[in-house]
Structure 1
Amino acid sequence: MPSVETGSAGFLTASSPVRLQFAQKAFIVAAGRLLLVRKAASDPFHPGRWEVPGGRLEVEDDLDLDDHIRREVWEEVGLKVDPGPPFHLWQWFMADRSPAAREGLIRVVAAARRCHPLTFDVGFGNRDESDHLDGCAWVPLHELGAYELIPSLRPVMRAFLRLPC
């Protein structure tokens, strides 16, 4: 095994460039229900599957992590939230589809946060088409197992359901 001093590339960086991004996901709970959003048929990765609102940090614009999650929730579902502390960290890899990338990957490191809604009327007026969302539902916690989640969210959902109420 090469030493750290040799500067050898890891298995992912040896084969293709990897960009790092940070994301947050909001687990918004009200009256025993969790807000889920559905990916549209146009979503390139998980069409028709469910997840929670949130997204990737915009490095130049999101100076505060609380403001970042507030912005993502406002843009995707039109709610104002009070963000709580993170309860789970995870990562996933995805193809880098930016014009400058050839065959690169994006490594997304994400934090899940339980959020308290300050407003309750969901609206899609602020949504960007690149979010690829076409619906949402306030789902009773005991019914979450019936929803087909995006794969990377499944262990996060299990961690969420283990949290004290």
Structure 2
Amino acid sequence: MPPAGAGAPGSRSSLAPVRLEFAQKAFIVSGGRLLLVRKAASDPFHPGRWEVPGGRLEVAGDLDLDDHIRREVWEEVGIKIEPGPPFHLWQWFMPDRTAPSPGGRIRVVAAARRCRPLTLDAGLENQDSGDHLDDCAWVPLEEIGAYDLIPSLRPVMRAFLLPPR
């Protein structure tokens, strides 16, 4: 039997640290329109691109996953929702600017959820500076393809727009 490290690219201690985080994204539809948010020019990763409301779990603050997605949507667009089931899981990597050593990364594992709006007056008044949003819009489903989406969201959007089986 080969040693445990056989075939490995090198010592695990030589790899940059990766921190795991969890996020949820809310796909909120009303009257054939999906609520999208646009990243501001100040966004460090995707300035000017569109996505759906949501964000990363606050481990110490969010009571459960439904509480988490409700909080994120309220903070970003100021509406209340009824969380629905997840329909897609995916991941992305981003630089970890808080890592003690250079080269650290964050691996974000995310769940996309279908959510029902309980209120409809979306606005950006509740967001904090870290959200980096400058617009929100209820977009007709047939027009979503014209929006410049964050790249990692594109396959999720395709899954969302597929007819139910």
Asked if Structure 1 and Structure 2 have the same fold, meaning a TM-score greater than 0.5 normalized by the shorter chain, the answer is yes
Instruction: Give the Å deviation of 1:98.
Output: 1.6
Aligned-pair distance for 1:134?
0.2
Q: Report what 2:160 is aligned to.
A: 160
Give structure 1 regions of 4+ aligned residues with deviation exceeding 4 angstroms.
5-11
Aligned residue in 2 for 1:40: 40
Partner AA of 2:66 in structure 1: D
Q: Secondary structure at the match of 1:71?
A: helix
Identity %: 74
Structure 1 residue 107: Cα displacement: 0.2
Which residue number corresponds to residue 89 of structure 1?
Answer: 89
Aligned partner letter, 1:156 = V
State the partner residue of 1:62: 62
Q: What CA distance in whole angstroms lies between the structure 2 residues aligned with 1:111 and 1:136?
A: 21
Match of 1:102 in 2: 102
Q: Secondary structure at the residue paired with 2:98?
A: coil
Higher mean C-alpha deviation, range 90-99 or range 137-146: 90-99
- CA distance, structure 1, for counterparts of residue 163 and residue 24 of structure 2: 18
Partners of 2:9 and 2:134 lie apart in 1 by 38
CA distance in 1, matches of 2:65, 2:9: 30
- Match of 1:47, SS state, is coil
**1:101, distance to aligned residue in structure 2 (A):** 4.8
1:99: Cα distance to partner? Answer: 5.9
Work out the CA distance in 2 between the residues paired with 1:138 and 1:31: 9
Query: Counterparts of 1:20 and 1:36 in 2: how far apart (Å)?
Result: 26
Aligned-partner Cα distance in 1 for 2:7–2:42:
39
Change (3 A) 1:97 1:8: farther
Q: 1:99 to 1:17 in 2, by over 3 A?
A: closer
Further displaced range: 120-129 or 38-47: 120-129
CA distance in 2, matches of 1:61, 1:8: 42
1:31 corresponding residue in structure 2: 31
Distance in structure 1 (CA, Å) of the matches to 2:112 and 2:163: 12
Larger radius of gyration: 2
| Structure 2: 5+ residue stretches without partners | none
Task: Tell me which residue corresponds to 1:141.
Answer: 141
How many residue pairs align between the two structures? 163
> Does the aligned pair in 1 maintain the 2:49–2:148 contact within 8 Å?
yes
Over aligned residue pairs, what C-alpha RMSD do you find?
2.3
